[in-house]
C-alpha cells in the first residue's frame, strides 16, 4: 500500500525542462574575489576556477594566519598514511588555484578533516614541498 502511494506521488511530479530551469536560475559570478578587512585582519573569499566537483566552489583565505579553509577539494589522510594510490583531480585543481592566486598558504583547514600543513596537500598530489 505504501509503495502504491509513493508511485502515485511520483506520477504527479512535474519535471522542469533544462532550458526552463536554466532561465529561472540566477547566474553565478565565476571570477569572485571578496576581501573583508577590519584594519587588523583580512578575510579573502576566492572562486576556485575549473573545479569539476562544482563550478561555484569557493575557498576562504586568512592571510595573517596563512590559513586556507575549503571543503570537498582536499581531505587529509590519517597521520603517517602513504599518499593515495590515485590522485584526486579536485586536489590538483585546488593546488593550481592557490598558485594562480599567489596565496602564501601554510596550513589547510578542510571542513571534512583535520588542520594540516601545506606539505600534506603537496604529498597527496605528488608535488615537491
Q: 78-107 pLDDT, tens per residue?
A: 888 887 889 999 999 999 999 999 999 999
pTM of the model: 0.74
- Domains defined for the chain, CATH in brackets: 29-125 (3.60.15.10)
pLDDT at 13: 53
Burial 31-56 (b: 16+ CB within 10 A, else e): eeeeeeeeeeeeebebbbeebeeeee
Which residues partner with 82 through β-bridges?
none
- What pLDDT, in 10s, does the model give residues 9-59? 555 555 556 666 566 655 555 567 889 988 899 999 999 999 888 888 899
Query: According to the model, what pLDDT value does residue 116 have?
Result: 95
Mean pLDDT over 117-125 rounds to: 93
* DSSP string across the chain: -HHHHHHHHHHH--PPPHHHHHHHSPPPPSS-EEEEE-SS-EEEEEE-TT-SS-TT-EEEEETTTTEEEESSS--PPPTTPPPPSS--HHHHHHHHHHHHHT----EEEETTS--EEHHHHHHHHT---
User: In the prediction, which pLDDT does 83 show?
Assistant: 76
Characterize the bridge pairing of strands 116-117 and 33-37: unpaired
What band does 113 get if pLDDT is binned at 50, 70 and 90? Answer: confident
Amino acid at each position: 500500500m505504501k509503495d502504491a502511494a509513493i508511485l502515485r506521488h511520483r506520477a504527479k511530479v512535474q519535471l522542469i525542462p533544462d532550458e526552463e530551469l536554466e532561465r529561472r536560475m540566477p547566474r553565478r559570478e565565476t571570477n569572485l574575489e571578496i576581501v573583508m578587512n577590519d584594519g587588523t585582519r583580512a578575510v579573502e573569499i576566492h572562486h576556485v576556477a575549473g573545479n569539476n566537483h562544482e563550478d561555484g566552489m569557493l575557498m576562504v583565505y586568512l592571510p595573517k594566519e596563512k590559513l586556507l579553509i575549503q571543503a570537498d577539494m582536499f581531505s587529509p589522510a590519517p597521520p603517517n598514511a602513504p599518499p593515495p594510490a590515485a590522485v584526486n583531480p579536485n586536489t590538483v585543481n585546488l593546488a593550481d588555484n592557490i598558485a594562480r592566486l599567489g596565496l602564501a598558504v601554510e596550513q589547510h583547514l578542510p571542513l571534512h578533516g583535520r588542520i594540516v600543513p601545506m606539505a600534506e596537500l603537496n604529498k597527496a598530489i605528488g608535488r615537491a614541498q
